[in-house]
Amino acid sequence: MSAGRFGGHIAVVTGAGHGIGRASARRLASEGAVVVVVDIDQATATETAGLIAGEGGAAEALAADVSDERGVAELRRRVEEGYPHVDVIHNNAGRLRGGSVTELDPAEWDRIFAVNVRSMFLVCRALIPVMHRGGAIVNTASSSGLVGEQGIPAYNASKGAVIQLTRQLAADYTRRGIRVNCVCPGWVPTGFNDPVLEGMSDAEVQAMVDSTVPAGRQGTPEEIAAAVAFLASHEASYVVGHALVVDGGLTAVR
């Protein structure tokens, strides 16, 4: 495998057992990174690491609930034991559930914020001290963090928080040699959006996409992974605190 842009780099990707996280882990590995594949589910993390190995890359699968302080402390211990430093963190673990403010259970609101925002705080808190100068953090936000949308208040608010946390981290750590940005995907058919698409047929989903997305289609995990890889690379060396929208024009016409 070619060394590529990430030859000799160590990358930690959370929520890497499926979807965008899996695609990003594979993309980083394809360009030379050794990837620590983190997911709450060991089986899916192992599957991702196996795919990377089958493609000629290097990866280790670790199970961790990154919304839990003890889980992240164990993640740091394992990373410190196995690697000299960390070059890239891709905070991608996420959760989506529907329900208006009057319908949503407070425990679900808290869980969404724990997975979508608290996890990023905990992972950055744990791993920034072992990051290599010149490293990069890429957080997964969402086009939902930029506009109001019906029926997903906790997700909307949490992704808005991710964008602002990204800016704050950039303000604190850029002068210390760590760039921080986020990517804002639109509709991507990974199964992640199933909780809010329940009851809709494929034709109805396509009609919704046709009416709201100028590109006329959903994105692919690989298209989001390409943006993640760019933001993590030295090619983006002057991109700092930015929310890179990859949504087929969804927010351009809102």
Catalytic residue IDs = 155
How many other CB atoms sit within 10 Å of the CB of residue 60?
19
**Between helices 69-82 and 119-127, what is the axis angle to 10°?**
30
Tell me the one-letter amino acid at 169: L
**Between helices 19-30 and 42-54, what is the axis angle to 10°?**
30
Distance, in Å, from the CA atom of 162 to the CA atom of 247, rounded to the nearest integer, reads: 17
How many other CB atoms sit within 10 Å of the CB of residue 167?
17
Distance, in Å, from the CA atom of 242 to the CA atom of 32, rounded to the nearest integer, reads: 25
Extract the runs of DSSP E, i.e. beta strands, from the chain: 10-14, 34-39, 58-63, 86-91, 131-140, 178-185, 243-246
